[in-house]
Amino acid sequence: MSNKDLGFETINLGHGSGGLMTRDLLDRIIFETFNNPYLNQKHDGSIIKMDGEMAISTDSFVVSPIFFKGGNIGELAVNGTVNDVAMCGADPKFLSLAFVVEEGLPMEDFVKIVTSIKEAADIAGVQIITGDTKVVERGKGDKIFINTTGFGKVHPKAHISPDKIRSGDKIIISGPVAQHGMAIMSQRDGLEFESTIESDTTNLNFLVNDLLDAFGNKIHLFRDPTRGGVASVLSELADDTNLGISLKETNIPLDDQVAAACEILGLDPLFVANEGIFVTIVSADVADAVEELMKKHEKSPRAVCIGEFTTEHPKKVVMHSVIGGKRMVTPMIGEQLPRIC
């Protein structure tokens, strides 16, 4: 669909007025793109049926820039919430979608974002079933913000909770760390640097479902290390479980270019955001089989065990370094990388 077809080169305040311009925007972009029986009712909401337990997760996306290597804010808004629902041990099926758009956003950019949302939703197997669009005055926002809420039925074999974690449980990560954060920083105003690093944003729900099918309650936890990275996730788990965590630095997957970028910016890759990997805590007796299954899956060919829970040094995460030493991995204080997702 061209800007000429829409009649406007940019989003303006009238598109959020609730009047004819809003209706035209919704009919010709939103409803046409996300065409499905739920949304086509054009009601204030949607009615869905689900048996058993349901997981619900909501997230807001304010990433800057809105287009980045490997994705954009629209794709990220789908994958991020799909993955949050999956981390609960559930199969995401439905999303709500809300936009806050700044007056003056090029209509072409809005259409690209909406199209990418549709594509990401189709790949993840979810439907957009309700939503909202608001427009704020020029200078009162920053191009576009998106909120998504996901709904999914909990897997019958899922028993996901930090309470399930025991000493000896293994920590497996699904792929290389810090890719999303470094992709964003390489294009951030004032920090740009030459790089081919791409965001790892992707959906992980099918991988999670395969693991639960195969290992059930031997999977004690899933967690996606977005803001705050792997270090924040593990520090929180050590504190919540009153157990220690022992990590092997040599096992943590990290691409050379990402490592170099982190060093240039003075960032610890363990604190950098990720959008396409997760950490799973599993019983020791199935750890090798879990890792083997993950390595065969397209989303996690570089899955690896990076450590374990221990009764030693309770509530502390200890890294065994490449040179044979040890160091504490402490929780992140404050904001390291603002507006990363």
pLDDT the model gives residue 140? 94
Q: Is the dihedral of CA 118, 120, 122, 127 positive or negative?
A: negative
pLDDT tops 70 at residue 151: yes
Q: Extract the runs of DSSP E, i.e. beta strands, from 120-240.
A: 127-136, 144-154, 170-173, 219-223
CA dist 101 and 103 (Å) reads 6
Scan for tokens 């640097």, then name that residue.
Answer: 193
Instruction: Return the percentage of the chain with pLDDT > 90, whole number.
Output: 86
Average pLDDT for 37-43: 91
pLDDT tops 90 at residue 270: yes
Grouping H, G, I as helix, E, B as strand and the rest as coil, residue 135 is strand
Average pLDDT for 128-153: 97
What are the two backbone dihedrals, phi and then psi, of residue 7, each rounded to the nearest 5 degrees?
85, -5
Lowest mean pLDDT across 12-16, 130-134, 174-178, 330-334:
330-334
Tokens of 144: 């576009």
C-beta atoms surrounding 59 within 10 Å:
19
Average pLDDT for 264-271: 92
Closest by CA to 1, choosing from 21, 23, 31, 22, is 31
Residue 237: which region, alpha, beta or left (left: phi > 0; alpha: psi -120 to 50)?
A: alpha
Exposure b/e, 276-311, CB count within 10 A at least 16 = b: bbbbbbbbeebbeebbebbeeeebbeebbbbbbbbe
Q: Which residue has the higher pLDDT, 7 or 277?
A: 277
pLDDT the model gives residue 148? 98
pLDDT tops 90 at residue 50: no
Q: Extract the runs of DSSP E, i.e. beta strands, from 46-142.
A: 54-61, 67-68, 71-72, 90-102, 127-136
Residue 82, CB half-sphere, CA atoms under 13 Å: how many? 30
pTM here? Answer: 0.95
* Average pLDDT in the chain: 94
Q: Any residues with CB less than 8 A from the CB of 256 and at least 6 apart, and which?
A: none
pLDDT the model gives residue 115? 98
Instruction: Return the percentage of the chain with pLDDT > 70, whole number.
Output: 97
Quote the distance between the C-alpha of residue 137 and its chain's center: 29
pLDDT the model gives residue 2? 47
pLDDT tops 80 at residue 284: yes
Given a contact cutoff of 8 angstroms between Cβ atoms, the answer to whether 173 and 264 are in contact is no
User: Is residue 49 very low, low, confident or very high in pLDDT (cuts 50, 70, 90)?
Assistant: confident
Q: What is the pLDDT of residues 81-120, one digit of tens each?
A: 999 999 999 999 999 999 999 999 999 999 999 999 999 9
pLDDT the model gives residue 4? 45
Average pLDDT for 187-215: 90
pLDDT tops 70 at residue 190: no
pLDDT tops 70 at residue 15: yes
Amino acid (one-letter) located at 122: D
